[in-house]
Amino acid sequence: MVLAELQEIKERELAARKKVLITCCLAAGCMSSAGKQVKEALDRAVQAAGLDHDVEVRGVGCLRLCCEGPLVHVDPPGVLYQKVRPEDAASLVGTLSGGATAVQTADRTSPFFTRQLPIVLENCGRVDPERLESYIAHDGYLALRHVLRELSPAEVIAEITKSGLRGRGGAGYPTGLKWATVAKTASAKKYVICNADEGDPGAFMDRSVLESDPHRVLEGMSIAAYAVGADQGYIYVRAEYPLAIARLQTAIRQAKQFGLLGSGILESPFHFNVDIRIGAGAFVCGEETALMASIEGRRGQPRPRPPYPAESGLFGQPTLINNVETFANVPPILRRGAAWFASIGTERSKGTKVFALAGKIRRTGLIEVPMGIPLRTIVEDMGGGAPDGGRIKAVQTGGPSGGCIPAEHLDTPVDYESLTRLGSIMGSGGMIVMDERDNMVDVARFFMEFCMDESCGKCIPCRAGTVQMHELLRKILARRATARDLTTLEELCDLVKNTSLCGLGQTAPNPVLSTLRFFRREYLDLLQPEPWKAPAAAASSEPAP
Amino acid sequence: MNTIAPPPSARTAGAPSGHPSGDKRFKILEVFIKRQQQRQDALIEVLHKAQELFGYLDDGLLWFIAHGLRLPPSRVYGVATFYHFFKLKPQGAHTCVVCMGTACYVKGAHRILEALEQAAGIRAGGTTPDGRLSLLTARCIGACGLAPAVVYDDAVAALQTPESALERVKGWLNHGAG
């Protein structure tokens, strides 16, 4: 396909646009509250009103404000309706001809919407995820064309390095550096893997991107493959995300039809294929070496590094592995320039980050904010604070590998370094707000139980250590523990952190360490006096001879 | 019970050709294995397909897959037991999956689970003796914005309470018989 054809598709798509566009959120959240039925009812209502020629009803990805779903956007006039029920469809369509409706509207001027800066999510809620033409109409695949026509692989890597993009999977490794390492290896066969095994409980960012804008991820992967010299890609998706899998399959099929995947992409000598690999419910497979073992059809157990995947990865070949959100950032960087991207965010953390805001907070949903935004702005302004007059006690980031940031540190800017300093991590983007009613020792136990169940069992510190730590936490919660148990727990945290094989074990103690650091009082309040100290205490109270 | 006993017929058979039981699903699975060109790295795909066809993976089925992919049965069993998604026991006619992700947990998912466990008389991961209901937990189904969430027979329901969950499964529980 040539530029003229891309443009033609875009123009045809824009010309075919009807006067009114009704978009219905069909992402997981709204789907679970009858979003699909709402769309069907709207389809019928439009037909019944005889407005088929003027009104398009389109199912789109996440419209962000999950707590008020199902969401329906009507444009013009640009109104977002919330908590729409299928029986409201007729009155919503009626508003187009001047009627009134009792359906609540969402306040688009609230900070939840105005403080967002969509880059990764720029198309989310606008394009039809099941139609390639719709993505092309929003400048899709322009970046890939620009790259294949005008840039050498080295120039692409230089651009990504200059943008300052860092891995969005949690650890924040510089993306340009990773690409350069894979590009440098001399091998005829290389792989590109997209890590979509979003296992952190409380995180649904990658899912939203895949469900709302799958072509963006494919475009990012293609650009990466061109830069590092790979011809085969894999997307490793959780089996728990059937909708994301279905949409990816559709997207891959369409891209092949249009010559945007396969051989001779966009009339260049570059060829690249993508296959989907479906996970089978193992959290440890988010770890890169475990993930590759799983793609090879084996038990998802990590192996020691080095060698790093960049040298010897999938099937022993050099492999580039990035997260969904990282790949989703690539097309806009190449379309709009590294300098533009680098102008957003802080000195060392560039661009934006998508967070899944949930827990004890008024407005839950999906947000994309510039790096460096204070945590307080996110939870108090955008999220609206705790519901039912409660007070925010802590914000948990990074899932089972992260930590709890207490309310007094809410002014911390959200970037990789600041969160690490507080004993948490950026993580993949789950942000769970907790209020005064949440017991932090129980939260630590919850995460430890998770790590205990998900430990793959290969290395002893993680396999045995997580079980022991979980037991100690249970003992503390049952008020049967003494100060000595707490010391043992702290020693174990240190041991497991420093001697485990992979990231799962190395970070498993983080929730305990961070709650011990900021909420030690809650642990101490649950401890029992040590029995052997009791008589001594009694003895010391007797008058000295 | 932790070993795979080959079905008597499979011991003597060469390359699998359908299944002696005559069950058509074995034929479909065999075609699927052939389509993967018997690549051993397709094991997880094949297990997914087998579970989709049969609902769960019993020993005979695992043996059949091992044979088809020319893999040691130990490897097939090892992979099938490693991943939570694969079920080695038959599931109930209905399933009820309580999400135990962080957001659901802080909003009281454990209370929903306790209520369901009590009403059904089974623990999470179990199936009622009459085979009507399987009670499961999930790590996170990604519906965190509407926590706590429960999945009833593949339909996600948002903002659940112990009462609403009990109401929903009432018809699936056969009181007095179990």
Helix ranges (H only) for A49-83 are: none
- Render pLDDT for A492-529 as a digit per residue (tens, 0 to 9): 999 999 999 999 999 999 999 999 999 999 999 999 99
Q: Is A297 on the interface with B (CB under 8 A)?
A: yes
- Render pLDDT for A265-284 as a digit per residue (tens, 0 to 9): 998 999 999 999 999 989 99
Cβ <8 Å between A450 and B82: no
Estimate the share of chain A in helix, then strand, then coil, as percent rounded to the nearest 5.
50, 15, 35
A507 vs A455: CA distance, rounded Å: 12
- Together in a domain, B17 and B69: yes
**In the prediction, which pLDDT does A449 show?**
95
- Together in a domain, B45 and B110: no
Phi, psi of A263 (to 5 degrees): -105, 150
**In the prediction, which pLDDT does A475 show?**
97
Instruction: Provide the residue type at A33 as one letter.
Output: S
- Can you read off the two tokens belonging to residue A401? 């590998």
**In the prediction, which pLDDT does A200 show?**
85
Shortest distance, CA B86 to any CA of chain A (angstroms): 7
Nearest residue, CB atoms, B106 vs list A203, A299, A360? A360
- Together in a domain, B66 and B121: no
- Together in a domain, A89 and A228: no
Q: Please, are residues A492 and A444 in contact by the beta-carbon 8 Å criterion?
A: no
List the single residue in B with minimal CA-CA distance to A458.
Answer: B82
**In the prediction, which pLDDT does B6 show?**
56
A416 vs B69: CA distance, rounded Å: 45
- Together in a domain, A337 and A390: no
- Together in a domain, B100 and B144: yes
Choose from A5-9, A385-389, A475-479 the range with maximum mean pLDDT.
Answer: A475-479
Confidence of residue A544 (pLDDT cuts 50, 70, 90): very low
* A537: pLDDT strictly greater than 70: no
**Which A positions 9-38 lie with beta carbon below 8 A of chain B?**
28-29, 31-33
B157 contacts on A by Cβ (under 8 Å): 32
Domain boundary among A395, A411, A435: A435
How many structural domains comprise chain B? 2
Classify residue B2: in a domain, yes or no. no
* B10: pLDDT strictly greater than 70: no
Phi, psi of A187 (to 5 degrees): -150, 140
Write out the H or E segment, with its range, that includes residue A195.
Answer: strand A191-196
> In the A/B pair of chains, how many CB contacts fall below 8 A?
142
Residue A484 sits in a domain whose CATH number is 1.20.1440.230
- Together in a domain, A382 and A431: yes
Shortest distance, CA A154 to any CA of chain B (angstroms): 33
**In the prediction, which pLDDT does A534 show?**
61
Instruction: Return the SS3 of A307.
Output: coil
- Please state which of the ranges A15-29, A165-179, A182-196, A205-219 shows the lowest mean pLDDT: A15-29
Domain boundary among A296, A313, A342: A342
**In the prediction, which pLDDT does B15 show?**
45
* A424: pLDDT strictly greater than 80: yes
- Together in a domain, A189 and A299: yes
B55 vs B86: CA distance, rounded Å: 9
Mean of the per-residue pLDDT values of chain A: 93
- Together in a domain, A157 and A29: no
- Together in a domain, B74 and B101: no
* B143: pLDDT strictly greater than 90: no
Domain boundary among A380, A410, A435: A435
- Together in a domain, A511 and A394: no
* A303: pLDDT strictly greater than 50: yes
- Together in a domain, A268 and A287: yes
Q: Partners of A25 in the beta sheet?
A: A60
Helix axes B43-54, B73-82, angle to 10 degrees: 70
A311 vs A288: CA distance, rounded Å: 13
* A8: pLDDT strictly greater than 50: yes
- Together in a domain, A151 and A73: no
* B2: pLDDT strictly greater than 60: no
List the single residue in A with minimal CA-CA distance to B103.
Answer: A359
List the single residue in B with minimal CA-CA distance to A206.
Answer: B142
Classify residue B87: in a domain, yes or no. no
Classify residue B177: in a domain, yes or no. no
User: Of the candidates A213, A237, A247, A206, which has an alpha carbon nearest to the alpha carbon of residue A61?
Assistant: A213
Residue B143 sits in a domain whose CATH number is 3.40.30.10
When pLDDT is averaged across residues A127-150 and rounded to a whole number, the result is 94
Domain boundary among B82, B117, B138: B82
Q: Tell me what ipTM this predicted complex has.
A: 0.89
Task: Determine the structural domain holding residue A390 and report its residue range.
Answer: 352-435
Cβ <8 Å between B143 and A240: no
Domain boundary among B82, B104, B133: B82
Task: Determine the structural domain holding residue B153 and report its residue range.
Answer: 94-172
Residue A426 sits in a domain whose CATH number is 3.10.20.600
- Together in a domain, B98 and B168: yes
- Render pLDDT for A470-486 as a digit per residue (tens, 0 to 9): 999 999 999 999 999 99
- Together in a domain, B56 and B104: no
- Together in a domain, A453 and A517: yes
| pTM (predicted TM-score) | 0.92
**In the prediction, which pLDDT does A518 show?**
97
CA dihedral A404, A409, A411, A414 (to 10 degrees): -30
When pLDDT is averaged across residues A285-305 and rounded to a whole number, the result is 95
Cβ <8 Å between B156 and A204: no
- Together in a domain, A323 and A175: yes
Residue A156 sits in a domain whose CATH number is 3.40.50.11540
Classify residue B178: in a domain, yes or no. no
How many structural domains comprise chain A? 4
Classify residue B3: in a domain, yes or no. no
Asked whether the bond before A307 is cis by omega within 30 degrees of 0, the reply is: yes
- Together in a domain, B102 and B161: yes
User: Of the candidates A361, A371, A384, A336, which has an alpha carbon nearest to the alpha carbon of residue A122?
Assistant: A336
- Together in a domain, A179 and A230: yes
Shortest distance, CA A538 to any CA of chain B (angstroms): 42
Instruction: Provide the residue type at A273 as one letter.
Output: N
Q: Please, are residues B107 and B140 in contact by the beta-carbon 8 Å criterion?
A: no
* B17: pLDDT strictly greater than 70: no
- Please state which of the ranges A2-6, A83-87, A176-180 shows the lowest mean pLDDT: A2-6
Classify residue B146: in a domain, yes or no. yes
